[in-house]
Amino acid sequence: MAKAPVLTPRAEDFPRWYQDLINKAELADNGPVRGTMVIRPYGYSLWERMQQDMDARIKETGTQNAYFPLLIPQSYLTREAEHVEGFAPELAVVTHGGGKELEEPVVVRPTSETIVNEYFSKWVQSYRDLPLLINQWANVVRWELRPRLFLRTSEFLWQEGHTAHATYEEARDFAARIHRHVYGDFMREVLAMDFVLGRKTAKERFAGAINTLTLEGMMGDGKALQLGTSHELGQNFAKAFHTRYLSKEGKQELVWQTSWGSTTRMVGALVMMHGDDSGLRVPPRLAPVQAVVLAIKGDDAVLAKVREIGDRLKAAGVRVQVDDRTDIPFGRRAVDWELKGVPVRVEIGPRDLENGTAMLARRISDKHSKHSRGGKEPVAIDALAALIPTVLEEGQQLLLDQARERRESRTSDVTTIDQAVEATAAGGWARIPWSTLGPQGEAKLAEHSVSVRCLVTEEGAVPDADETPGNVAVVARAY
């Protein structure tokens, strides 16, 4: 009799597979308040490593971290018309504080443009105070009617950058720099993610922005997920909050602004882009644990050896964990490490010890290679410390290649709206000329739950405007 699979197979029910994986790999639990989420230690360790790496990249741009309050007077949100329209339906409202009804209700921040501008307007006086480059790591709340762990949660963790510049060009270039060289590079180099970098249509733009850049990734089921966005805010918030500076020429000018955010949704994206039917596959550069060394049985010599190997791998710069919990059956532990997606397993039992070898299992492999799923190979114990860093770098590259290959093979160029609907219904993306689609075609696609993920130029670059001739719309069903 075949063993029951650990997870619902992806091909059978992708959303169920995702839910199973999040649960069994102990990434997160549902919170008690609708749409909220408890991020468990293993899930949080993934987020924490994302934070550390991104934080360093953000600081390299000259941006400094700060912290703005969670609670915002409701009146602030109404000052920018599009902004309040966009966020009003999602707000959590505090009406009572300290045992009394508040005179003015306050909202739990859904994003911080408004409160940030209230302070920017005080801090910015002269051109000497510009550019002002601020980031914060924080939680935000957007009431979610159809929640899904990590992907859409009523509370999520994120970083939100907010900058003010003297000119339109400087703001535009800064948003592009963050998008390409903080988000894009990080996601490609560390998360091994493949994506299309493009421009949102007017319909899909951030509420209050004049332009939104996005990174769109293809998930394992062919749907799209927005991985991060950067906005040019123009002078919309500056006008609403009177954020002005004295120019070199002695004139009062409104600042030009940007904002940009990336969230715990990236953990969900990691699962859906790289996961397989055995669980998560964590890109080695991100992995909190890159290699686990397992004692198969609890013989003293075996335990001593796994610890020694652990020390040697650590000395070789590998983030390693020793699993010597021999009171738990080996099979269960092996399955659990597979679920958690640790890139490399080193397994040792008494027989291996006699041979001076260990069994090496690669969590990330090419399906055509000898290392494919389940294939373990014996490796001389003395060779492990030299071999494993190479295996990790290979795994990192393989994940990126596999994601890119999937997107390329499941994206079709089409010329009609019907073809676009058909292609996306079959679990893929379609590319269609924006001149064919246009806002009306976009509305039609929406009736089929298909959206324009972004616009790109024919060469795949980011267009300067929605209506630039030659623009191509990338359309898909999306999370």
Residue 97 binding a copy of itself, by CB under 8 A:
yes
The Cα 70–Cα 296 span in angstroms is 49
With respect to a copy of itself, which residue has the nearer C-beta, 48 or 82? 48
Nearest to 257 by CA among 234, 276, 280: 234
Out of 2, 3, 128, 440, name the contact with a copy of itself by CB under 8 A.
128
With respect to a copy of itself, which residue has the nearer C-beta, 156 or 434? 156
User: To the nearest whole angstrom, how small is the minimum distance from the Cβ of residue 366 to a copy of itself?
Assistant: 33
Out of 11, 56, 81, 95, name the contact with a copy of itself by CB under 8 A.
95
Q: Specify the amino acid at residue 31.
A: G
Q: Segment near a copy of itself (CB under 8 A), from 58-66, 195-203, 220-228, 354-362?
A: 58-66
Helix axis angle, 14-24 to 265-274, nearest 10°? 110
Out of 138, 190, 287, 454, name the contact with a copy of itself by CB under 8 A.
138
User: To the nearest whole angstrom, how small is the minimum distance from the Cβ of residue 259 to a copy of itself?
Assistant: 17
**DSSP state, residue 377:** E
User: To the nearest whole angstrom, how small is the minimum distance from the Cβ of residue 16 to a copy of itself?
Assistant: 21
Site string for a copy of itself, 22-51 (x = CB under 8 A): -------x-xxxx-xxxxxx--xx-xx---
Bridge partner residues of 78 (DSSP): none
Residue 355 binding a copy of itself, by CB under 8 A:
no
Residues in the chain: 479
**DSSP state, residue 470:** T
Nearest to 89 by CA among 143, 26, 50: 143
Q: Which residues contact 89 (CB under 8 A, 6 or more apart)?
A: 143
Helix, coil or strand: residue 132? strand
The Cα 268–Cα 274 span in angstroms is 10
Out of 6, 94, 334, 379, name the contact with a copy of itself by CB under 8 A.
94
With respect to a copy of itself, which residue has the nearer C-beta, 142 or 371? 142
Out of 5, 15, 62, 69, name the contact with a copy of itself by CB under 8 A.
69
With respect to a copy of itself, which residue has the nearer C-beta, 144 or 311? 144
DSSP-derived pairing of the beta strands 100-108 and 71-73: antiparallel
Residue 195 binding a copy of itself, by CB under 8 A:
no
Burial class (CB in 10 A: 0-12, 13-18, 19+), 31: middle
* Distance in angstroms between the alpha carbons of the first and the last residue of the chain: 37
User: To the nearest whole angstrom, how small is the minimum distance from the Cβ of residue 108 to a copy of itself?
Assistant: 7
The strand ranges marked E within 149-242 are 155-165, 196-199, 211-218, 224-234
With respect to a copy of itself, which residue has the nearer C-beta, 142 or 345? 142
Helix, coil or strand: residue 383? helix
Q: Which residues contact 433 (CB under 8 A, 6 or more apart)?
A: 415, 470, 471, 472, 473
Residue 141 binding a copy of itself, by CB under 8 A:
yes
Torsion of CA 342, 344, 349, 351, to 10 degrees: 160
DSSP notation for 172-191: HHHHHHIIIIIIIHHHHHTT
Question: Are 342 and 292 a contacting pair, CB within 8 Å?
Answer: yes
Residue 426 binding a copy of itself, by CB under 8 A:
no
Size of residue set near a copy of itself by CB under 8 A:
58
User: To the nearest whole angstrom, how small is the minimum distance from the Cβ of residue 91 to a copy of itself?
Assistant: 8
Out of 8, 19, 79, 90, name the contact with a copy of itself by CB under 8 A.
90
User: To the nearest whole angstrom, how small is the minimum distance from the Cβ of residue 87 to a copy of itself?
Assistant: 11
Site string for a copy of itself, 221-240 (x = CB under 8 A): --------------------
Out of 46, 50, 149, 157, name the contact with a copy of itself by CB under 8 A.
157
Residues that bind a copy of itself (CB under 8 A): 29, 31-34, 36-41, 44-45, 47-48, 64-73, 76, 88-99, 105-106, 108, 115, 118-119, 122, 128, 134, 138-139, 141, 143-145, 154-155, 157, 327-328
